[in-house]
Amino acid sequence: MENISEKLAPTKKEDRKTSIMQIALKLFSTEGFYTTTMPAIAKKVGMSVGNFYNYFSSKDELAKEIMLYISSVLGEKLREINRSDKSVREKIDMIVKMYFQIAQERPELIEYFLRIFLSNREIFTKACTGMICVSDFITELTLFFDNGVQSGDLKDQDFFSALGLFMGYLGGMVFLNGEEVLTKPLNEYETTIAENIYNALRKQ
């Protein structure tokens, strides 16, 4: 019974969980994980602390579920791009554009990934063994590279070298944008960056 309803439609409880996560995500990414308290989250959600623990068993568990949620959102976007009938060069454009668009519209997703997930190992090593919290996203990125290599467009280099370039570069730019040191709006860098990335990855 329960299994069916879970698969067909989100339950009321799942909806509530998601809306809690949105709020916690925003708090964590703007205020930091350790500086955001459980009462502060509960208050912003409009819920008592006690009841909060009916939805998430701990602060770490909440952090983990948020990361899973972000990974699924980004993974889904990448999946669409992968499935599209475009050239590798165009797909890179699309990925950069997509990433920056999210950074503009829902900056908390990227900030959380960069500032909370990547920087607080102690929280996620327990909850997210391996890379399972970001596997959705990583899977799609791997697919993109493999396809590019198979089609002969990209160099057959170590996956992680390419991943480091992609994520480091884009993350670095979003970070600088967040620091407000960039002289232009983020999206105006799209063309240059996509070009830089393509030049770095393509078969010379």
Partner DNA sequence: GATGAATGAGCTTTCATTCAT
Partner DNA sequence: AATGAATGAAAGCTCATTCAT
Residue 199 contacts a second copy per CB under 8 A: yes
Candidate ranges 44-52, 65-73, 155-163, 184-192; the one touching DNA (CB under 7 A): 44-52
C-alpha count within 13 angstroms, C-beta hemisphere, residue 172? 8
Cα separation, 134 vs 113, in Å, equals 9
Long-range contacts formed by 25-29: CB under 8 A, 24+ apart: 25/66, 25/69, 25/70, 25/108, 25/109, 25/112, 26/108, 28/63, 28/66, 28/108, 28/112, 28/116, 29/107, 29/108, 29/111, 29/112, 29/115, 29/116
Residue 3 contacts DNA per CB under 7 A: no
Residue placing its CB nearer to DNA in the complex, 9 or 176: 9
Residue placing its CB nearer to DNA in the complex, 50 or 180: 50
Residue 183 contacts a second copy per CB under 8 A: yes
Residue 172 contacts a second copy per CB under 8 A: yes
Phi/psi at 120 (5° precision)? -125, 70
Measure the N-to-C terminal CA separation of the chain; round to a whole number of Å: 57
| Shortest distance (Å) from residue 8 CB to a second copy | 26
Residue placing its CB nearer to a second copy in the complex, 9 or 176: 176
Q: What length does the chain have?
A: 204
Candidate ranges 1-9, 24-32, 55-63, 94-102; the one touching DNA (CB under 7 A): 55-63
Residue placing its CB nearer to DNA in the complex, 55 or 175: 55
What residues line the site for DNA (CB under 7 A)? 12-13, 16, 34-40, 47-55, 57-60
Interface residue list for a second copy (CB under 8 A): 31-32, 34-35, 114-116, 118-122, 131, 157-158, 160-161, 163-165, 167-173, 175-176, 181-184, 189, 192-193, 196-197, 199-201, 204
